[in-house]
Amino acid sequence: MKLEVQKAQSLKPKPEDESKLGFGRIFTDHMLTIEYTAGKGWHDAKIKPYENFSLSPACSVLHYSQTIFEGLKAYRTPSGGINLFRPWDNFKRMNISAERLCIPKIDEEFALEALIELIRLEQDWVPHSEGTSLYIRPTIIATDPFLGVRAGEQYLFYIILSPVGAYYASGLAPVDIYVEDEYVRAVKGGMGFAKTGGNYAASLIAGEIAHKRGFSQVLWLDGVEKKYVEEVGSMNIFFKIRGELYTAPLAGSILPGITRDSIIRLAKDYYGVKVHEERIAIADIFEENEKGGLEEVFGTGTAAVVSPVGGMTWEDKSIKISGGKMGELTSKLYDKLTGIQYGKEKDEFGWIKTL
Ligand code: COI
């Protein structure tokens, strides 16, 4: 497929104060679009000026949520270059989500080449300040103007770019999370492992309730017994108990996070920490805390990076973790991961694509 490039006539001013970027509100001058039509496959790949779409109000994504997305980042290196972190894994995961949502698969290699071309064109949008990056959002939506429930025959794949700072307004300060014991996010056999809008829509009600009670995030328990910890929605979660790390296994209901996988490999291969990918009961975590065994809790995600958890509330019990501060291992893992991403540390794992 050929990639056509239409450059914008005028460029938007770049954000002057990078400390005020926040997350996901500013978009760059260009975007990538590729169309799909049944019988023809993916076609018309274009980099073009960022603009609103014109879609039929009957368009099936708007009614039945046939959509998937990804999240990755471009990082500014000390020499002014640009790094992408494991971008091939995002397109691979996008195709896994595509299969679950009956969306036609993309050509992963072409998508990566097109993304690289887009980032090269938008390179001045990759911010320079510490903790900032250019967030990349590949998305696919079903665009058929048809109200029947069936897999679409027309799709739009697009990538938009957004210069960002920290995902949480509190930055790296530990967040307080609320363990949700009424609603569930996903069950085995559902869509929990896919990066699809519906999973996030399903999580909103618990998020709203948690916010009203003063918590920034919700920790989901398994959808059947409401007993075992799963994920936080915007991030996977890790518990350090008596020197070893525990995280939920990839058993179909949680997102297979690329940051999750990177942290497991760094913890094991770089710091020699034992990592257990197994079911952990929330009751056992609270009990370990009573006995002094719970040492650190943190979340991982592209947007959230490595985010310390300072407190957890489950039913009527509230606990403080690491004295409400970022734990030592959390801090080491954060430094190592971001060191590799920003090109300050050697990439021993082959994770970086330099532009
Ligand atoms: C990410 O970490 O990239 C995510 O997709 C999480 C969230 C912003 C939806």
Domain boundaries, the chain: 3-164, 175-346
Ligand 1 center from residue 287 Cα (angstroms): 31
CATH 3.30.420.40 fits 175-346, yes or no: no
Ligand 1 center from residue 303 Cα (angstroms): 5
Could you report the per-residue pLDDT of 118-149, keeping only the tens digit for each? 999 999 999 999 999 999 999 999 999 999 99
pTM: 0.95
DSSP 3-state of 197: helix
Please tell me the predicted confidence (pLDDT) of residue 120. 98
Report which ligand 1 atom has the smallest distance to the Cα of 71: 3
pLDDT band at 167 (very low <50, low <70, confident <90, very high): confident
323 pLDDT more than 80: yes
Please state the φ and ψ torsions of residue 233, each to the nearest 5 degrees: 100, -60
Please tell me the predicted confidence (pLDDT) of residue 171. 74
Please tell me the predicted confidence (pLDDT) of residue 52. 97
Asked whether the domain spanning 175-346 has the same topology as the one spanning 3-164, the reply is no
Architecture label for domain 3-164? 2-Layer Sandwich (3.30)
Please tell me the predicted confidence (pLDDT) of residue 168. 79
Write the DSSP assignment of 97-144 as a string of letters.
Answer: HHHHTTPPPP-HHHHHHHHHHHHHHTGGGS--STT-EEEEEEEEEE--
Please tell me the predicted confidence (pLDDT) of residue 331. 95
Ligand 1 center from residue 274 Cα (angstroms): 27
Return the ∠ at Cα 315 (arms to 309 and 321), rounded to 5°.
Answer: 25
DSSP 3-state of 76: strand
Six token digits for residue 255:
């997102």
Report which ligand 1 atom has the smallest distance to the Cα of 234: 6
Spatial distance between the Cα atoms of 137 and 87, rounded to a whole number of angstroms: 11
If one residue of 234, 258, 307 were mutated to test the ligand 1 pocket, choosing by the most ligand atoms within 8 A of its CB, it would be: 234
Ligand 1 center from residue 306 Cα (angstroms): 13
262 pLDDT more than 90: yes
Residue closest via CA to ligand 1's atom 3 equals 71
Please state the φ and ψ torsions of residue 212, each to the nearest 5 degrees: -60, -30
